[in-house]
Amino acid sequence: MVTIKDVAKRAGVAISTVSYALNNSKSLKPETVMKVKEAVKELGYRPNLIARSLKTRSTSTIGVIIPDIANTFFAQIIRGIEDVSERKNHSVILCNTYENPKKEENYIDLLLNRDIDGLILVGTGHNPETLTGKEDLPIVIVDRQLGQSVPSVTVNNRKGGYLATQHLLEKKSGEILFLSGPLGINTYLERLNGYLDALNEAGIPRHENLIRECGVNYDGGQDVMSDIMEKNLKFDSVFASNDLIALGAYNILIRKGIRVPQDIQIIGYDDIPTSHIVTPGLSTIRQPTYHMGKTSAEILFDIISGGSTVDEHIVLEPTLIPRETT
The DSSP secondary structure of 266-277, one letter per residue, reads EE-SB--GGGGT
Q: Which residues are within 8 A (CB) of 290 and not within 5 positions of it... i.e. 6 or more apart?
A: 76, 77, 79, 80
Q: Which residues are within 8 A (CB) of 66 and not within 5 positions of it... i.e. 6 or more apart?
A: 74, 77, 78, 94, 95, 96, 97, 122, 123, 124
* Spatial contact of 127 and 134, defined as CB atoms under 8 Å apart: no
- 3-state SS of 18-61? HHHHHHCCCCCCHHHHHHHHHHHHHHCCCCCHHHHHHHHCCCCE
For the stretch 232-246, pLDDT in tens is 999 999 999 999 999
Task: Go through the domains of the chain in sequence order and give each one's CATH number.
Answer: 4-47 (1.10.260.40), 59-155+289-316 (3.40.50.2300), 157-286 (3.40.50.2300)
What is the sign of the dihedral through the CA atoms of 306, 316, 150 and 106? Answer: negative
- Model confidence at 285: pLDDT above 90: yes
Q: What is the pLDDT of residue 322?
A: 97
Q: What is the pLDDT of residue 48?
A: 58
Q: How far apart are CA 159 and CA 269, in angstroms?
A: 12
Q: What is the pLDDT of residue 50?
A: 46
* Highest mean pLDDT pick, 60-64, 113-117, 134-138, 315-319: 315-319
Lowest mean pLDDT among 100-104, 146-150, 196-200, 282-286: 146-150
When pLDDT is averaged across residues 71-84 and rounded to a whole number, the result is 93
- Model confidence at 133: pLDDT above 70: no
The per-residue pLDDT of the chain, averaged, comes to 88
Residue 96 phi, psi dihedral angles, 5° rounding: -120, 125
* Spatial contact of 221 and 248, defined as CB atoms under 8 Å apart: yes
Q: What is the pLDDT of residue 54?
A: 43
- The residue type at 255: R
Q: How many CB atoms sit inside 10 A of residue 124's CB?
A: 26
Lowest mean pLDDT among 42-46, 79-83, 216-220: 42-46
318 three-class SS: coil
Q: How far apart are CA 225 and CA 167, in angstroms?
A: 21
Q: Which pLDDT band, with edges at 50, 70 and 90, does 2 fall under?
A: confident
